[in-house]
Amino acid sequence: MSKDNKKPSLFGRLFGNRNKQLSFMEEEQLQSPTRMIVRNFLNNRLGMMGLIIFLCIFLFVMIGPKFFVLDLSYNDNTQTNVPPTLSMLSVPEGLEGNVKDITPGTTFGVGVDNDGHVYTWGYTRITEVIDVGVIPEEVKEAHIEHIAAGYDHIAAIDDAGNVYVWGNDRLGQKNLPSDISTAMLMKKNLGFKQLEAGFQFTGALTEDGNLYMWGNQNMADIKVRKEYQGHIEKIALTTYNCVALLDDGTVAYVGLQKNSIQERLPEGLDNIVDIAATGATVAAVDADGKITIWGNISDGLGDVPEMSAKPVELYGGNKHYTALLENGEVISWGSNVHKQSTVPASVVEHDIETVFAGFYQNYAITTEGETLTWGLKGYAFGTDDLGRDILTRLVNAGQVTMTVGAIAVVISLVIGIIAGGIAGYFGGWVDMIVMRVAEVIGGLPFIPFAMILSAIIGTRISVEQRMYLIMVVLGVLSWPGTCRLIRAQILSQREQEYVTAAQAMGVREKSIVFRHILPNVLSLILVSATLDFATCMLTESTLSYLGFGIAPPTPTWGNMLNGANNSVVIQQYWWRWVFTAAIFGVCTICINLVGDALRDAVDPKSNGR
């Protein structure tokens, strides 16, 4: 086949070959309004750039909620105002392959290597002035044997029995018991074998079975019953309590309170070999491998999976458990909000020597010394004041905002096209009535009207019903502009010869308006709809920002910005408003760029510019 007879591409057949020089007669035959509009739009670089960026944002917020699932009831006071970071599972290179102990904290991790050196990683800042990542000099110089991370502090014990605590001390986290302080002054090693830290308190267990606890006595039950001292083999800390495994294989609640859930031990806890705890539950493993869990059981903690072998080690996070079995298999169960209960394939494929778990993180050490991790890596866009992931809320908020804007535009277009078409075609008293109604509705101040309506309705309707109401109100009050545009175009088109011909052939007036005239002004309708879409999104967000739109916890871009409407947030927690404002601003700018490009493309004079 010769080059001249080569079959044109699909694009070429639809829109014509732009490189081919056409004669005057060929131009007259092939040039069409649709082709002209498409060609002009494609030649508008700003318009094309805006369209591509908007489509990316649109797909991101429409498909994203399938991957970033939103739980409206979720909040976590341990994850509040965390800046953008993905380093919560990033074990430092110096610790890799030389791990002796690892303890995950709320948003950070702390570990010690076989040489006694301490490492921290993740988001370690507790307050504006307190950072647990700043390791004290005396700790750096000591040979650390045990390490433990609490909610807002870190505790460590060296090979000489000295105890170190750094981080928050507002509630006595550093107030060591007198026995430990005296032993340290006398340079006496009490022989510690276990160190655990919880919510503003710490527990240290000695080789001879004595337990020392210190910290916030107002919140935690940290006074140990004397009858258990000297008989404790291991301890497990919940948020406010301590449960101990005794040397006779039984489990005991060592505190003095009588109303604790963890204090109400189930029957049959005999021959126990290991214990662990989450924030509100305790688990015990007996010699036969049976796991018993009690306390405030939720998030699937009570659904212990079937195991192929006996568990030899059991660890507890904030809302999940992880077990290491005799055959080297690792199993996690419980809450999986941060994938902390999903054991990766890399762990399954390796021989695991030991496991360290806590809060929302898990660390598995292979027989080759490699560290494998799973759980909460961090937050790409940070968290808000309730510990909610900004990225997840941003994606779902965009879906709500765009849906409200799109449906409001559809309602506005339907009303505007029908009213404008009738007024423009029939004219006379029909035109007079329609336009006077449009002027009355167009004269209503929308935002004050919506605020008054919201105040009257109050909380009598649900969030979903409020969203539908905003869609309808936006659509019903936004049609006058479209109506005037359609009316003006139809007043011009109805004098054309094709309309006269249709009337002469007896075509019904409804068909003339909606099947013959409207298609000729469709491009202008498209331009108007594009610009109105951005306006409706801005209006909805304005209402939500002012507190009269869709209320939290259902997110919209407007109420997310409203949640950051605070000088402290603006200065110290920039991520709570920067990402939302950026994506919203870029989205509306791109829509307006597309609208402007369409308007220029529809104008035949733009060909000569």
CATH (domain of 90): 2.130.10.30
220/515 Cα distance (integer angstroms): 76
Last residue of a domain, one of 215, 236, 251: 215
Task: Answer yes or no: do 584 and 457 share one domain.
Answer: yes
Task: Answer yes or no: do 502 and 586 share one domain.
Answer: yes
- Indicate whether 533 belongs to any domain: yes
Q: Is the pLDDT of residue 244 over 90?
A: yes
pLDDT the model gives residue 24: 47
- Indicate whether 362 belongs to any domain: no
Task: Answer yes or no: do 59 and 194 share one domain.
Answer: no
Number of domains into which the chain is organized: 2
Q: How confident is the model at residue 563 (pLDDT cuts 50, 70, 90)?
A: confident
Last residue of a domain, one of 188, 215, 242: 215
User: In this structure, are residues 330 and 343 in contact, taking their beta carbons and an 8 Å threshold?
Assistant: yes
Task: Answer yes or no: do 183 and 59 share one domain.
Answer: no
Domain that holds residue 571: 36-68+389-604
The distance from CA 475 to its chain's CA centroid, rounded to whole angstroms, is 30
User: In this structure, are residues 247 and 233 in contact, taking their beta carbons and an 8 Å threshold?
Assistant: yes
Q: Is the pLDDT of residue 484 over 80?
A: yes
Buried/exposed code over 498-527 (b: 16+ C-beta within 10 A; e: otherwise): ebeebeeeeeeeeebbbebbbebbebbbbb
User: In this structure, are residues 215 and 201 in contact, taking their beta carbons and an 8 Å threshold?
Assistant: yes
- Indicate whether 542 belongs to any domain: yes
Q: How confident is the model at residue 301 (pLDDT cuts 50, 70, 90)?
A: very high
Residue ranges of alpha helices (H) inside 202-354 are 345-348
By CB atoms closer than 10 A (0-12, 13-18, 19+), residue 445 is: exposed
- Indicate whether 23 belongs to any domain: no
Task: Answer yes or no: do 52 and 126 share one domain.
Answer: no
| Inter-CA distances, 27 with 3, 33, 364, Å | 22, 12, 71
372/576 Cα distance (integer angstroms): 31
Q: Which residue has the tokens 């479209």?
A: 482
Q: Is the pLDDT of residue 75 over 60?
A: yes
- Indicate whether 335 belongs to any domain: no
Nearest to 152 by CA among 86, 87, 219, 100: 219
303/447 Cα distance (integer angstroms): 51
Task: Answer yes or no: do 47 and 130 share one domain.
Answer: no
What is the CB-side half-sphere exposure of residue 299 using CA atoms within 13 A? 22
Domain with residue 44: its CATH number is: 1.10.3720.10
pLDDT the model gives residue 125: 93
Q: How many other CB atoms are there within 10 angstroms of residue 35's CB atom?
A: 13
User: In this structure, are residues 184 and 163 in contact, taking their beta carbons and an 8 Å threshold?
Assistant: yes
Task: Answer yes or no: do 100 and 43 share one domain.
Answer: no
- Indicate whether 459 belongs to any domain: yes
- Indicate whether 101 belongs to any domain: yes
99/117 Cα distance (integer angstroms): 10
Q: What is the mean pLDDT of residues 230-244?
A: 93
445/442 Cα distance (integer angstroms): 8
Task: Answer yes or no: do 482 and 552 share one domain.
Answer: yes
Task: Answer yes or no: do 53 and 90 share one domain.
Answer: no
Task: Answer yes or no: do 46 and 151 share one domain.
Answer: no
User: In this structure, are residues 326 and 288 in contact, taking their beta carbons and an 8 Å threshold?
Assistant: no
Last residue of a domain, one of 191, 215, 239: 215
Q: Is the pLDDT of residue 286 over 80?
A: yes
The answer to which of 136-150, 409-423, 528-542 has the lowest mean pLDDT is 528-542
Nearest to 283 by CA among 265, 306, 307: 265
User: In this structure, are residues 381 and 389 in contact, taking their beta carbons and an 8 Å threshold?
Assistant: yes
Per-residue pLDDT tens for 348-375?
Answer: 888 899 999 999 999 999 988 899 999 9
Task: Answer yes or no: do 47 and 189 share one domain.
Answer: no
User: In this structure, are residues 595 and 526 in contact, taking their beta carbons and an 8 Å threshold?
Assistant: no
Task: Answer yes or no: do 59 and 89 share one domain.
Answer: no
530/538 Cα distance (integer angstroms): 13
Q: What is the mean pLDDT of residues 129-143?
A: 95
- Indicate whether 469 belongs to any domain: yes
